[in-house]
Structure 1
Amino acid sequence: MHSGMSSPYDPIDATLGPAGARMPPWQWRVLVYLRALAGFLMVKTVYSWTLICGVWDGDTSRFEMLSLAAQAAVIWAAIMNPVAAVGLWLGASWGVVLWLVTAMVQILINASAPEGVGRLLIVAAIETVLVAVYAFLTYKATRESEE
């Protein structure tokens, strides 16, 4: 094989560089945050699907009893969160964009829901904090790479 060519038997990350190469600290923190966020989104996905499928008994957790806005928020989360989680886990830019769009839509839906406002406003507040933390980490990582 040529020195610039990779073999099908090389590890998948062989093209990333020498084993001693390290990410700068703030970029590493962004990656760890994105992966933790991906795990959080998967937990939200499981919760959304258990709500849709009616796993729990009781009137407060029945999907059919929720307002239309609350149902829309649950369905949106059940569909979009796992896709965004995969992108975040991979550290792909499309995953971040999809998560930000999903978070903004959920914040708007949850903030405008007339019924079940307490639970939905908590979700909207958590999403807002998660976006703010991502913005801070990205800002620090960008400044680090400019230095």
Structure 2
Amino acid sequence: MTEEGAASLPARQSPFEIALEFLQRAAALACLVYGVGYWVRLLGFYEGSEWRFDLMPVYWQLAATPLAVMFPFAAVGLWMLASWGPVVWFACAGAEVVMYGFFPELYGRWPLIIILHAVVAGLYAGLRILIHLERRRSEN
């Protein structure tokens, strides 16, 4: 086998890379569900007060509209393992943490979503650090 042929062979993924891929794909599915939830809210398919765009207060309109677009976009990026997927997810997660953590009188209390975003962000950061350390160790 030539050197060119050997260079084109895919490298084996480490367990940390496999775990990161699994985490990103699981987060992608969750983002898709959240995105659909925001679209349901905006389009008024759900019965209830303030569950339609024209009946929502302005603060909900300003929050739900970008999140309805960005969550499915983040889902695509995370599923494809694109570098911009986690960035878009982080923007969505940050927006929800601000909504439910700092303005509960407007958006309601949802501590579970804040904890979930924090856990996913922590796992993502931890896995990225472990992958970086593993690559640095293998270079030496």
Q: TM-score, normalised by structure 2?
A: 0.77
Aligned partner of 1:127 in structure 2 is: 117
Aligned partner of 2:72 in structure 1 is: 82
Asked if structure 1 preserves the Cα contact closer than 8 Å seen for 2:99 and 2:107, the reply is no
2: CA distance, partners of 1:50 / 1:87: 22
Q: Shift in Å at residue 81 of structure 1?
A: 0.9
Aligned partner of 2:92 in structure 1 is: 102
Q: Shift in Å at residue 66 of structure 1?
A: 4.7
List runs of 5+ in structure 2 lacking aligned partners.
none
List runs of 5+ in structure 1 lacking aligned partners.
5-14
1:85-137 deviation digits (Å, cap 9, x = unpaired) = 11111111111222222222332233233224223x44333222221221122
- Evaluate the alpha carbon distance shift between residue 106 and residue 126 of structure 1 in structure 2; reply closer, same or farther with a 3 A threshold: same
1:48 is aligned to 2:46? no
Identity of paired residues, percent? 28
1:49-83 deviation digits (Å, cap 9, x = unpaired) = 11111111122645555543333332222011111
Q: Shift in Å at residue 43 of structure 1?
A: 0.6
1: CA distance, partners of 2:115 / 2:57: 19
Aligned partner of 1:69 in structure 2 is: 59
2: CA distance, partners of 1:66 / 1:123: 21
Asked if structure 1 preserves the Cα contact closer than 8 Å seen for 2:74 and 2:88, the reply is yes
Aligned partner of 1:36 in structure 2 is: 26
Asked if structure 1 preserves the Cα contact closer than 8 Å seen for 2:101 and 2:109, the reply is no
Q: TM-score, normalised by structure 1?
A: 0.74
Aligned partner of 1:9 in structure 2 is: none
Instruction: Report runs of 4+ in structure 1 exceeding 3 Å deviation.
Output: 60-71
Helix, strand or coil at the partner of 1:118: coil
The number of equivalent residue pairs is 133
Aligned partner of 1:118 in structure 2 is: 109
